[in-house]
């Protein structure tokens, strides 16, 4: 058995929840290593739909260990609501669930500051979910954060809360003309959360590494996607955490030598939520068709996703950073019935400095630019492939796909130089073609 990282290869929303749920059958544990409740992983099992924000998707399987690592920022209220919601659905949460004591806590003032900071940007708004994620990570890095383990020490927690609110209340009053936040009110609220969550808070570094030492397999579940990574995404239109495979090591305390593979989740087209550059975005009827057929609305916010053609320039960037050992291609069925399917193979960019092109001429870029402003000015260079008329929904064998769909899959694999291990042909758990199980490292039927 292998320890596998599952990460999004685009701007998130690639369908990671379903793939993690699928692979959990072969794993012993599932662990989240970054992000917060701004993530939304949707899993459909028969006629039941589950939307998970903080708890790993593996919780839907009996006998699987689920871990929230120290790289995650946690809103205790949101986590408890999610736990109670799952319990109502008869999903067991007990000794199979662990929360890192090192994980940082999202406080009420983080939510307030998140909204105020976003409003202040005006037309340059990032498109944050406003759930306090960014400010919580800011406090973590400025060493003013409060961690889950702090909630277990009432006196120490209150002292830290007082220190933080003395500064934040001054800011709220003087700059934003907002009311002060009561120390006692927040303290009482969070002590209630602590009572509920204390049985689950532990040293997950020890827990995860003990599992590995015993030969157990862990599925490392990422949130968001590579192009939203704080370092490698389209900064500043990114999330506040390390959404790439490297985030596993810092977000869970697991050594790189214990990671056996990285599975990149790639949507058969491209979507993005919020502001920021998106070279292949379609602002026409085709973009709307993809949105409607794909149900492209955020699981967390309900916001409509921007839709466009597949972008191999961006995907090669994701492959370079993450070192994908395989790809899971999702939402292939959304492309059913389209006559011609376009794929972006390069960008055209008119460099105002003329350093990469002759005066007045556009240069051709095949490497993803590091500046969001440059990406914004890029025009996609497309190749065109034949679409298919036959429905691919629910197909479970590669040979049963239309030849044009197989050609599209082969083109993606050959262009990216990465094997496609899994193909999703619908939202449900069993609507999938498994060519290779990355955890068992075994090939399946074709």
How far apart are the C-alpha atoms of 89 and 22, rounded to whole Å? 19
What b/e string do you get for 215-245 counting C-beta neighbours within 10 Å, with b at 16 or more? eebbbbbbbbbbbbbbebbbeebbbbbbbbb
DSSP bridge partners of 265: 8, 328
What's the CA gap between 305 and 2, in Å, rounded? 34
Instruction: Name the active-site residue from 13, 21, 229, 437.
Output: 13
Q: Which residue carries 């994980």 as its tokens?
A: 103
**Catalytic pick among 21, 28, 37, 41:** 41
Query: Is 437 noted as a catalytic residue in this protein?
Result: no
Q: How many C-beta atoms surround the C-beta of residue 286 within 10 A?
A: 15
Count the neighbouring beta carbons within 10 Å of the beta carbon of residue 141.
Answer: 10
Q: Beta strand 48-52 with 65-68: parallel, antiparallel or unpaired?
A: unpaired
Q: Which residues contact 81 (CB under 8 A, 6 or more apart)?
A: none
Query: Which residues make Cβ contacts (< 8 Å) with residue 57, sequence separation at least 6?
Result: 17, 20, 21, 24, 30, 41, 43, 221
Neighbouring C-beta atoms of residue 114, cutoff 10 Å? 21
Known catalytic membership, residue 311: no
Tokens linked to 238:
């990114």
Query: What's the rounded Cα separation, in Å, for the pair 50 and 400?
Result: 29
Residues 6+ apart with CB under 8 A from 348: 362, 363, 364, 365, 378, 379, 380, 381
What whole-number distance in Å separates Cα of residue 311 and Cα of residue 269?
A: 8
Task: Count the neighbouring beta carbons within 10 Å of the beta carbon of residue 336.
Answer: 17
Task: Give the residue numbers marked as catalytic.
Answer: 13, 41
């Amino acid at each position: 058995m292998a320890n596998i990282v599952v990460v999004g290869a685009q701007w998130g929303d690639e369908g990671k929840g379903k793939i993690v749920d699928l692979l959990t059958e072969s794993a012993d544990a599932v662990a989240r290593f970054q992000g917060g409740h701004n993530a939304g992983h949707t899993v459909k099992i028969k006629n039941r739909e589950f939307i998970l924000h903080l708890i790993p998707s593996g919780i839907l399987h009996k006998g699987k260990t689920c871990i929230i690592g120290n790289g995650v920022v946690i809103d205790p209220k949101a986590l408890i609501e999610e736990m109670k919601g799952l319990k109502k659905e008869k999903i067991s949460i007990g000794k199979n669930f662990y929360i890192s004591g090192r994980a940082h806590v999202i406080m009420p003032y983080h939510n307030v500051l998140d909204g105020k900071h976003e409003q202040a940007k005006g037309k340059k708004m990032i498109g944050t979910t406003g759930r306090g994620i960014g400010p919580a990570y800011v406090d973590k890095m400025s060493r003013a954060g409060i961690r889950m383990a702090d909630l277990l020490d009432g006196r120490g927690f209150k002292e830290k809360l007082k220190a933080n609110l003395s500064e934040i209340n001054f800011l709220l009053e003087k700059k934003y003309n907002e009311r002060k936040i009561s120390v006692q009110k927040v303290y009482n609220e969070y002590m209630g959360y602590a009572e509920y969550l204390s049985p689950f808070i532990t040293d997950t570094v020890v827990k995860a590494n003990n599992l590995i030492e015993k030969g157990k397999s862990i599925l490392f579940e990422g949130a968001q996607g590579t192009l939203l990574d704080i370092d490698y995404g389209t900064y500043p239109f990114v999330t506040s955490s390390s959404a790439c495979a490297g985030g596993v090591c810092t977000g869970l305390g697991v050594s790189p030598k214990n990671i056996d593979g990285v599975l990149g989740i790639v949507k058969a087209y491209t979507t993005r939520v919020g502001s920021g550059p998106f070279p292949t975005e379609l602002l026409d009827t085709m973009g709307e068709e993809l949105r409607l057929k794909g149900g492209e609305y955020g699981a967390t916010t309900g916001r409509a996703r921007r839709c466009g053609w597949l972008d191999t320039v961006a995907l090669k960037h994701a492959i370079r950073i993450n070192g994908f050992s395989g790809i899971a291609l999702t939402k292939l069925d959304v492309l059913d019935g389209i006559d011609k399917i376009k794929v972006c193979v390069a960008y055209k960019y008119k460099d105002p400095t003329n350093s990469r092109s002759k005066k007045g001429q556009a240069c051709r870029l095949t490497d993803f630019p590091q500046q969001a402003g440059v990406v914004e000015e890029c025009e996609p260079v497309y190749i065109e492939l034949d679409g298919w008329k036959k429905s691919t929904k629910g197909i479970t064998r590669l040979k049963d796909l239309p030849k044009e769909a197989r050609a599209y899959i082969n083109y993606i694999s050959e262009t990216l130089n990465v094997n496609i291990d899994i193909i999703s042909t619908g939202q449900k758990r069993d609507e999938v073609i498994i060519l290779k199980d990355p955890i068992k490292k075994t090939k399946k039927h074709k």
